[in-house]
Amino acid sequence: MRQKGVIRYKNDQYYNKNPDSVSEEAEWTFGLSWLALIYITLGNRAKAENYITRMLQATTDKGVPELFFSNSKKHNENNPLGWSESLFIVALYEMNLKYLEPATTIESQLKNQIVDSLYQAD
């Protein structure tokens, strides 16, 4: 676990910013969403919210990048990355379903919008 993401494994050399390729593993943003989903499933709202917040902090003006170089604010060129963003959306959706009042969930809002649009069509 690092500041802007989760490392894949110790001494990972892929996108490693150290010339000797030791330590300084890349920080993968999708890991934050995975951890949020795990804690949502386990019912640990505080930890789930922590990882959601960390994911929001890892978001750039373009979206969610694939990864950040270790201990830096610099991300790689894959920004935004669809699967990182998709997993974040899933985490937000699951958090919404589990912890928000039924009347405020995304699902309820979508149903209300559909019903409203049907009445407006008449």
Kindly tell me if the per-residue pLDDT of 122 is higher than 90: no
Residue 43, domain member (yes or no):
yes
DSSP letter at 22 equals S
> What's the confidence (pLDDT) of residue 17?
81
Residue 88, domain member (yes or no):
yes
Residue 106, domain member (yes or no):
yes
- Higher-confidence residue of 29 and 20: namely 29
Kindly tell me if the per-residue pLDDT of 13 is higher than 60: yes
Residue 22, domain member (yes or no):
no
Give dist(CA 55, CA 86) in Å, integer. Answer: 12
Which residues constitute the domain of residue 35? 27-121
Over residues 84-101, mean pLDDT: 91
> Distances from the Cα of 64 to the Cαs of 11, 97, 98, in angstroms?
24, 22, 24
Give dist(CA 103, CA 92) in Å, integer. Answer: 16
> What's the confidence (pLDDT) of residue 51?
97
> Which run of H or of E encompasses 16?
none
> What's the confidence (pLDDT) of residue 23?
74
Residue 52, domain member (yes or no):
yes
Tell me: the pLDDT tens digits for 42-87? 999 999 999 999 999 999 999 999 999 998 899 999 999 999 999 9
Residue 50, domain member (yes or no):
yes
**Residue 2, class by beta-carbon neighbours within 10 Å (0-12 exposed, 13-18 middle, 19+ buried)?**
middle
> What's the confidence (pLDDT) of residue 116?
74
Residue 14, domain member (yes or no):
no
pLDDT confidence tier of residue 88, bands split at 50, 70 and 90: very high
> What's the confidence (pLDDT) of residue 111?
66
Compute the residue count for the chain.
122
Domain tally, the chain: 1
Residue 18, domain member (yes or no):
no
User: What is the average pLDDT score of the chain?
Assistant: 88
